[in-house]
Chains A and B, each alone.
Chain A
Amino acid sequence: GAVVSQHPSRVICKSGTSVKIECRSLDFQATTMFWYRQFPKQSLMLMATSNEGSKATYEQGVEKDKFLINHASLTLSTLTVTSAHPEDSSFYICSAGGNPYEQYFGPGTRLTVT
């Protein structure tokens, strides 16, 4: 079946630093990938839609200069949290669209900003 990986699974960084999260589709090509954020005991909220070779589309309220998304190939999208602050601590989940009717989710990355 379709597999999506994320790296790292957990990361702790200091306030003010940047951290990059990778999302890879391992056995299929994904022209579209999605980035979600989930705060504790809350639902998944879409942050942005990442399209290979073009700029990401951000949801309202998500700062594009703070959450940099790059989708340079059909199997890799990266999310960089720049100048991270404690309020950015969250669970970040990516998904990749393998076919028009399904999305495959990565295992998530737990970010803690101290």
Chain B
Amino acid sequence: AQKVTQAQTEISVVEKEDVTLDCVYETRDTTYYLFWYKQPPSGELVFLIRRNSFDEQNEISGRYSWNFQKSTSSFNFTITASQVVDSAVYFCALSEAPGSARQLTFGSGTQLTVLP
């Protein structure tokens, strides 16, 4: 069975600080996909990134960066120079195997609060 753990329930930082959100996953499959989503107070999920299990390259998109390490089953997310608009709940998720649409297993989420 697959499992996603986000040990940080809540994080609070001051604007312009860097912050890293941790994600650890468990799966028996060798092929899988990892995701990060942002959920602002409105509730709508915002897709941030998808990474397949064969691509361990780190990725940077603006102030966002992701560190995927299969050796430690982690897929951590860093926001550089945080802004108040980054305040939201962030979910890490896992989907096993391609071939057809698969349901996502979500972590418990991390509430990020960026203070002005």
Q: Are B103 and A91 in contact (CB under 8 A)?
A: no
Q: A102–B105 Cα gap in the complex (Å)?
A: 13
Q: Are B106 and A101 in contact (CB under 8 A)?
A: no
Q: Which of B93-111 contact A (CB under 8 A)?
A: 95, 98-109, 111
Q: A46–B93 Cα gap in the complex (Å)?
A: 12
Q: Are A100 and B98 in contact (CB under 8 A)?
A: yes
The answer to whether B50 has its CB under 8 Å from any CB of chain A is: yes
A99 — nearest CB in chain B belongs to which residue?
A: B101
Contacts of A108 in B (CB 8 A): 43-45
B74 to chain A, nearest CB (A): 18
B46 — nearest CB in chain A belongs to which residue?
A: A105
Q: Are B100 and A100 in contact (CB under 8 A)?
A: yes
The answer to whether B33 has its CB under 8 Å from any CB of chain A is: yes
> Which interface class (under 10, 10 to 19, 20 to 34, 35 or more) fits B?
20 to 34
Q: Are A103 and B104 in contact (CB under 8 A)?
A: yes
Contacts of B106 in A (CB 8 A): 43-45
B52 — nearest CB in chain A belongs to which residue?
A: A101
Q: Are A46 and B103 in contact (CB under 8 A)?
A: yes
Q: A56–B27 Cα gap in the complex (Å)?
A: 25
Contacts of B101 in A (CB 8 A): 30-32, 34, 96-100, 103
Known: A96-B101, A101-B50, A107-B44. 7 other contacts (CB 8 A): A44-B106, A45-B106, A46-B104, A46-B105, A100-B99, A102-B50, A108-B44
Interfacial residues, chain B to chain A (CB-CB below 8 A)? 33, 37, 42-45, 47, 50, 52, 91, 95, 98-109, 111
